Amino acid sequence: MLNYSILIEHWDMYMQGFTNTLKSSFLALISSLALGTIIAVFRIAPVRPLNWLGTAYVEFIRNIPLILIVFVFFVGLPTIGIRLDSFTAGTLGLTVYTAAFIAEVIRAGILAVPKGQMEAGRSSGLTYLQTMRYIILPQAIKMVIPPLGNQFINLVKNSSVLGVIAGLDLMYFGDLISSETFVTFDVYIFVAMFYLILTVPLSLGVGFLERRLARSR
């Protein structure tokens, strides 16, 4: 039987951690979607230097551990005079990291849109970026909603990296409560439940969206 008194006695801590995990995940989700989309377009645009930049970003970022990227923001930036609080550093690291994966997913989506769509847009006088924005990306993103959803779920789980730099997230408070109470198993089960509160609806939401879009097509 789980020891619910731990949950009740430390409810405020759990809630604070939950709120921060939610906040960090939400901010990183929005920004990594934007950044990832930009990088995907960089990789595909008919401009060589941008292709290189995009490829370099993806290959570099996705091949190093998330924790190191977070450290760059948390302990690296202060050495050049930029000091960020741990929540901000963690969320930034999370964004930069996730964007590399999202860029790959969206790039695959863009490549799956028939070539004629770009031709139709361009031949009507729209610029490359306008065609991307109004014609290609909406179709591309629809097609990659399932893998995009996976990335978002990973993102929520990866936000636990904040705990390592005292980012006041669920994991951080879990560690704190555990060291206060000398209980490990029950404390972390509750932490896991809070993560599930975020990830399960996300997962179901993605499934729902997928089915709805399949019908509208």
Partner 1 sequence: MIHFRQVNKHYGNFHVLKDINLSIHQGEVVVIIGPSGSGKSTLVRCINRLETITSGELIVDSVKVNDKNTDINNLRRNIGMVFQHFNLYPHKTVLQNITLAPMKVLGVSEKEAKETAMYYLEKVGIPDKANAYPAELSGGQQQRVAIARGLAMKPKIMLFDEPTSALDPETIGEVLDVMKKLAKEGMTMVVVTHEMGFAREVADRIVFMDQGRILEEAPPEQFFANPREERARLFLSRILNH
- Angstrom CA distances, 1 to 4, 110, 187, 189, stand at 9, 50, 13, 12
Residue 66 backbone phi and psi in degrees, to 5: -55, -45
Residue 49 or 116 having the CB closest to partner 1: 116
Residue that has been written with the tokens 């065609």 in this structure = 131
Distance from the Cα of residue 111 to its chain's centroid: 22
Please check whether residue 172 is in contact with residue 17, taking contact to mean a CB–CB distance below 8 angstroms. yes
Minimum separation from the CB atom of position 78 to partner 1 (A): 45
Residue 181 backbone phi and psi in degrees, to 5: -100, -10
Residue 83 or 217 having the CB closest to partner 1: 217
Q: Which amino acid is at 130?
A: Q
Say how far apart CA 17 and CA 94 lie, in whole Å. Answer: 17
Residue 113 or 206 having the CB closest to partner 1: 113
Minimum separation from the CB atom of position 8 to partner 1 (A): 49
Minimum separation from the CB atom of position 33 to partner 1 (A): 18
Residue 44 or 61 having the CB closest to partner 1: 44
Residue 119 or 180 having the CB closest to partner 1: 119
Minimum separation from the CB atom of position 125 to partner 1 (A): 4
Minimum separation from the CB atom of position 162 to partner 1 (A): 37
Minimum separation from the CB atom of position 123 to partner 1 (A): 4
Q: Which amino acid is at 124?
A: S
Return the number of other C-beta atoms located less than 10 Å from residue 15's C-beta. 13
Where does this chain bind partner 1 (CB under 8 A)? 114, 116-117, 119-120, 122-127, 130, 134-135, 138-139, 142, 216-217
Residue 46 or 81 having the CB closest to partner 1: 46
DSSP string, 84-102: --HHHHHHHHHHHHHHHHH
| Both tokens assigned to 86 | 């741990």
- Angstrom CA distances, 108 to 97, 102, 154, stand at 18, 10, 19
